[in-house]
Chains A and B, each alone.
Chain A
Amino acid sequence: MTPESRPSALGGLTLGGTTFRSRLILGTGKYPSERIMQEALKASGTEIVTVAVRRVELSARGRGSLLDFIDPARYSLLPNTAGCTTADEAVRTARLAREAGLSSLIKLEVIGDSKTLFPDLEGLLLATRILVREGFTVLPYTSDDLVTAKKLRDAGAVAIMPLGAPIGSGLGIQNRTHLRILLQEISDIPIIVDAGVGTASDAAIAMEMGCDGVLMNTGVAGARDPVRMARAMGLAVEAGRLAYEAGRIPKKLYASASSPEDQRIE
């Protein structure tokens, strides 16, 4: 598959009509501090950051808002519906997110299993259909299942976000074959690996395969030095993308010399 056969081929990641230069989407959870998060976002070069929607703590006053640490001129907010286990909860959360953030972008999660955090595909589809009808720009977190991906696309999702491994596991891309099938068969909207990335090479592998972007949180926030890891991830996503666009050499079993075979001294 050539880069030109994918959407937003050269020049950036296009989501719901907006094109982003960076293909890395970064989460804002689990950093040691808000300052470190802020530095990590900057070091990664990301232009889209995910946020969660939660009840205001009525007893804890005076704490700064997360938004004090995220420059709206620099980053687009991608609220998620993390923790929702039914389509109804996810839809309500998305509506609240739109009200809080004044943007229709939503990372749609409907979780079906608490141990693996695998998505409930039935609920995900239902919520996607409802939210698309309400004008949301829906990016569903899903499994690597092609049939579901096609249904999500047909329902109006602007991207497909399959997991590479369980959320927060850091196992890396465990499902290359299924991702390759998705990349072959879904060529009209971006495929963004969401979850599983543990270190820079994982992100590079996803991008070299031809994925259009990578979304991660724990891989950066949980690293010993999140700011350095954020930079590494930014470089890896870019390097992987460049390698994909450049077109790698075919793999061969035997050597072929790089230096001229002739005119050697005797």
Chain B
Amino acid sequence: MRILVNGTDREVPERITVSALLRMLDLPEGRIAVERNRKVIPRSLHSEVQLSEGDRLELVRFVGGG
């Protein structure tokens, strides 16, 4: 299925969980915050929440800033 990750179209397995997506993208689970369709998915639910076709995800982290 297709989902949008940080503005880019991506093909991922059906019903992939957030945790599995982060693993697939080689991202460290601990320091990434995830928003799905404008709602934050708490870290405690990453391994449970399954994504759907057309989901829009924002994966963010801290960077230097004032």
Question: CB within 8 Å of B: which residues of A?
Answer: 27-31, 34, 37, 50-56, 58, 61, 65-67, 77, 79-80, 82, 92, 95-101, 167-168, 195, 215-218
A132 to B17, CA, bound (A): 31
Taking a contact as CB atoms under 8 Å apart, the answer to whether A100 and B61 are in contact is yes
B5 at interface by CB-CB < 8 Å? yes
Taking a contact as CB atoms under 8 Å apart, the answer to whether B32 and A100 are in contact is yes
Contact residue among B34, B43, B66 (Cβ-Cβ distance under 8 Å from A29)? B66
Given contacts A27-B64, A50-B66, A216-B66, 17 further A-B contacts (CB under 8 A): A27-B65, A29-B64, A30-B64, A34-B64, A51-B63, A51-B64, A54-B60, A55-B7, A56-B61, A58-B25, A58-B59, A67-B31, A80-B66, A92-B38, A95-B35, A96-B33, A167-B66
A30 to B28, CA, bound (A): 24
Instruction: Give the interface size class of chain B.
Output: 20 to 34
A240 to B37, CA, bound (A): 47
Interface residues of B in 7-66 (CB under 8 A from A): 7-8, 25-28, 31-35, 38, 40, 42-43, 58-66
| Closest beta carbon of chain B to A121's beta carbon, Å | 20
Determine which residue in B27, B31, B43 has the highest number of CB atoms from chain A within 10 A of its CB, and name it. B31
Contact residue among A37, A77, A95 (Cβ-Cβ distance under 8 Å from B62)? A77
**Nearest residue, chain A, Cβ from B28:** A65
| Closest beta carbon of chain A to B61's beta carbon, Å | 5
A98 to B6, CA, bound (A): 19
Taking a contact as CB atoms under 8 Å apart, the answer to whether B66 and A55 are in contact is no
Contact residue among A50, A100, A101, A216 (Cβ-Cβ distance under 8 Å from B65)? A50
